[in-house]
Amino acid sequence: MSIQNIDNVTRRNFIGGVFSASAFVLAADLLPEIAWGDTSENHGKAAAAALKPSLYLGLEPDGTVYIVTHRSEMGTGIRTTLPMVAADEMEADWSKVKIEQAIGDERYGDQNTDGSKSIRGFFVPFRETGAAARLMLTRAAAAQWKVPESECSAVNHVVTHTPSGKKLGYGELAAAAGKLPVPKSSELKLKQRSEWRYIGHNAKDAKAIADLKDITSGKAVFGMDAKVDGMVYASIERPPVVGGKVQTVDAAEALKVKGVTQTVSLPAFTPPYTFQPLGGVAVVANSTWAAFQGRKKLKVEWNHGENATHDSERYKAELLETAKKPGKVVRNLGDVDAAFAKGKIVEASYYTPLLAHATMEPPVAIASFKDGKVECWVPTQNPQAVQDTVAKALGIKVPDVTCHVTLLGGGFGRKSKPDYVAEAAMISKQVGKPVKVVWTREDDIRFDYYHAVAGMYHKASLDEKGKVTGWLHRSVFPSISSMNDEKSLYGFNVEYGMGLNDMPFDIPNLRAENGPAKAHVRIGWLRSVANIYHVFSGLSFADELAHAAGRDSLEYQLELLGAGKVLNLNAQGVGEYWNYGESQDRYPFDTRRLRKVLEIAGEKSGWGKKKSGNGWGLGVAVSRSFASYVATVVEVEVDKAGKIRIPKTYMVVDAGTIVNPERAVSQFEGAAVMGAGIALTGEISLADGRVQQGNFHNYQVPKMHQAPIQTDVHLVENNELPGGVGEPGVPPFVPAFANAVFAATGKRVRDLPFSKAKLV
């Protein structure tokens, strides 16, 4: 990484003139360290850019420190957490820190706030930027006092000359520091862990959530709340079947609605679907309500295309049937077939349906097309994808698209896909005004990039002591790769590396296979992605094996993990193990850490102290995802009517070094609730190619009484590199919950959601 002090002109281009002429501004080149869910061309372009001022840390003469966050805030707290890192190393007084949200620009490096990788990717660059500022301020003070730099120290916005006791505030040093050469990385002295004042602390002086007061007072600006002068509103009637096209439109009645000004036709996408809009007919009006009303009066005839016969019930049967047959081998250790020739055989099939993201804020975007350029205001996880997608849709250049990032009312992966922004830009070009496209909840549920449906088959052999001698896991799902290749039938290493080819158990004979499945809806990624189905089936099956062996499930999972070691998956027939985009040297897969979280979860939950049954039970599951290790114990009560209550959940988390523990804990609390929703009621289904759900009455997400009443999160403290926190809580929750239901009722739920199962 290189850090540079930059001039006035360049920096203004980036964040719109936040800094005064006499401010001291540092930019760091944040080369994207990991790539995920995005095209590799972005990274090439970032590396090729002449000037790469990817992070700004600026100090004004009045002492105000500005730190630019280039990642999106959707509830994880990252907008606060990354600046905490730089502020800590800078020894900045948090009360003097102001946070600026970056626009989309490839020179920031990777901005796709996805894959639980913001801290993994940017912890070091933000530390180094802060440390560079601290060193320059110290040098400026030393020069002014004509004393050796080594006699000066910078603490909490003040540089002190220790022998004389002289002090200078950071603001007073800004101008002089700005004139100094930027130190090389090798000159930087990062703080010791014991010296951290914000990183790893439950912030007292540093607020855990920068936008807290704005949120509670209703002042926070989400994408839905953004407004631009002269803006009009649009609501879009999209093809009810993916790939459908408009045949005829009769807009006469729509145009009679007061406030409706015109309609705009949007072309259907050219396969593969990528981030392109679905097409359809937009109704443009002078208010949101008028646009909604006008849209209801549209008469559109559709050519539905080849997905019009798609049916979830039939598709489910096909997936489960395919899972019974040999597939593409994605991991092969030992010889499972030989193992299956002996001992007790246990087998089971599992099914998980499509899921919608259902962010509380539906997709929404403002775009303004003017003089061949687009400016947009968007709740997006990926502003650079917005630039690319809008540029492609309008045939303009990427730098001619400016993307301002608002707060996001939830993301979960949906808002990485900017189809909704391209819609706004296309309509704006047609009407010659800024346009706000507002998705209704029905639009959101029916036109999502869905989390994949999956059919899975597990088979294992047990020896006479109940020890597993062989394990076969087959998984069949429409792949995310269908986004870029409509003929895609198989998954890819990202999906395999989420619980399929990285199953952590120490078993001599293991095989993982992936069977073919064609996508008939847009497939995307949702918080924790393929882990949802792989870990649900894998850890449910582990519980089934424990039961078959007459063993306690937690002890059995520990036994399956073995003594614990660093897994060398490449040597276990995996080929290229994805490892969440990280090198296995930096982020080894260490099953000792899994053992540890599992053992602690047993202690914290009082595992084994009370006998399960009669409508009460505990379930447990463990998983590593996004370079973090999580064990979850779920307590359930099932009443005589089959109604489930979750009084308590325990999550034990080893996510290595934690920057903002308070926000990390909240992510795991939230993951438990999302996991509960996936298990209890999460299901999108299609008939005649049309999504059957449309709003929260039939796509139910947990309410307060359905969610875990109390989730206790225990963070394991260590000095390991930071892992992810946004997603890793979801995967183990779902099987732990299913295992708890089994413990309470004796009913094994293999098909999600539970709402379809008869528990009593």
Partner 1 sequence: MIKLKVNGRERSFDGDPDMPLLWYLRDELSLTGTKFGCGVGQCGACTVHRNGEAIRSCSTAMKDVAGKTVVTIEGLSAKGDHPLQKAWEQGNVPQCGYCQTGQIMQAAVLLKKIKHPSDKEIEDGMQGNICRCGTYQRIRAAIKTAAKEMA
Can residue 610 be called a binding residue for partner 1 (CB under 8 A)?
Answer: no
DSSP-H helix ranges across 282-371: 288-296, 312-322, 336-340
* Interface map 635-674 toward partner 1 (x if CB under 8 A): ---------------------------xx--xx-xxxxxx
Can residue 216 be called a binding residue for partner 1 (CB under 8 A)?
Answer: yes
**Number of H-type helices and E-type strands within the chain:** 19, 30
Phi, psi of 186 (to 5 degrees): -65, -20
Can residue 119 be called a binding residue for partner 1 (CB under 8 A)?
Answer: no
Can residue 220 be called a binding residue for partner 1 (CB under 8 A)?
Answer: yes
Contact region for partner 1 (CB under 8 A) — 94-102, 416-424, 437-445, 511-519? 437-445
Handedness of CA 478, 575, 583, 48 (dihedral sign): negative
Can residue 212 be called a binding residue for partner 1 (CB under 8 A)?
Answer: yes
Of residues 77 and 277, the one with the C-beta less far from partner 1: 77
Residue 702 Cβ vs partner 1, minimum distance, rounded to whole Å: 7
Contact region for partner 1 (CB under 8 A) — 88-96, 178-186, 435-443, 484-492? 435-443
Contact region for partner 1 (CB under 8 A) — 159-167, 214-222, 344-352, 427-435? 214-222
Phi-psi region of 573 (alpha: psi -120 to 50; beta: other; left: phi over 0): left
Q: Are 286 and 261 in contact (CB under 8 A)?
A: yes
Can residue 289 be called a binding residue for partner 1 (CB under 8 A)?
Answer: yes
Q: Are 416 and 363 in contact (CB under 8 A)?
A: no
Residue 463 Cβ vs partner 1, minimum distance, rounded to whole Å: 42
Residue 78 Cβ vs partner 1, minimum distance, rounded to whole Å: 11
Of residues 697 and 758, the one with the C-beta less far from partner 1: 697
Q: How far apart are CA 142 and CA 155, in angstroms?
A: 14
Phi, psi of 101 (to 5 degrees): -90, 125
Q: How far apart are CA 179 and CA 314, in angstroms?
A: 69
* Residue choice 179, 184, 193, 227 for contact with partner 1 (CB under 8 A): 227
Contact region for partner 1 (CB under 8 A) — 96-104, 208-216, 449-457, 538-546? 208-216
Q: Beta-strand (E) ranges in 123-209? A: 152-155, 158-161, 166-169
Of residues 339 and 438, the one with the C-beta less far from partner 1: 438
> What string of H, E and C letters represents the secondary structure of 516-533?
CCCCCCCECCCCCCCHHH
Of residues 20 and 695, the one with the C-beta less far from partner 1: 695
Q: Are 621 and 554 in contact (CB under 8 A)?
A: no
Compute how many residues bind partner 1; rule: CB under 8 A: 67
Contact region for partner 1 (CB under 8 A) — 92-100, 135-143, 213-221, 304-312? 213-221
Judged by CB under 8 A, the chain residues 332 through 361 that form the site for partner 1 are 358-361
Of residues 76 and 312, the one with the C-beta less far from partner 1: 76
435-438 and 364-370 as β-strands: parallel, antiparallel, unpaired?
Answer: antiparallel
Judged by CB under 8 A, the chain residues 236 through 265 that form the site for partner 1 are 258
Please tell me whether residue 488 adopts helix, strand or coil conformation: coil
* Residue choice 279, 411, 497, 661 for contact with partner 1 (CB under 8 A): 411
Residues 6+ apart with CB under 8 A from 553: 542, 543, 546, 547, 619, 620, 739, 743
Report the 10 Å Cβ neighbour count for 1: 18
Q: Are 479 and 492 in contact (CB under 8 A)?
A: yes
Of residues 212 and 341, the one with the C-beta less far from partner 1: 212
Of residues 199 and 542, the one with the C-beta less far from partner 1: 199
3-5 and 24-28 as β-strands: parallel, antiparallel, unpaired?
Answer: antiparallel
Q: How many CA atoms lie within 13 A of 506 on its CB side?
A: 18
Contact region for partner 1 (CB under 8 A) — 9-17, 132-140, 472-480, 705-713? 705-713
Can residue 702 be called a binding residue for partner 1 (CB under 8 A)?
Answer: yes
DSSP-H helix ranges across 481-583: 493-496, 531-548, 553-561
Can residue 743 be called a binding residue for partner 1 (CB under 8 A)?
Answer: no
Of residues 123 and 233, the one with the C-beta less far from partner 1: 233
* Residue choice 12, 184, 204, 213 for contact with partner 1 (CB under 8 A): 213
Contact region for partner 1 (CB under 8 A) — 113-121, 408-416, 683-691, 717-725? 408-416
Residue 487 Cβ vs partner 1, minimum distance, rounded to whole Å: 34
Q: Are 354 and 684 in contact (CB under 8 A)?
A: yes
Can residue 709 be called a binding residue for partner 1 (CB under 8 A)?
Answer: yes
Can residue 72 be called a binding residue for partner 1 (CB under 8 A)?
Answer: no
Residue 246 Cβ vs partner 1, minimum distance, rounded to whole Å: 24
Please tell me whether residue 220 adopts helix, strand or coil conformation: coil
Q: Which of 532, 568, 549, 569 is nearest to 735 (CA)?
A: 532
Q: Footprint of partner 1 on this chain (CB under 8 A)?
A: 73-77, 208-209, 211-213, 215-222, 224-225, 227, 233, 258, 287-290, 292-293, 358-362, 407-412, 438, 440-442, 662-663, 666-667, 669-674, 695-697, 701-705, 707-711
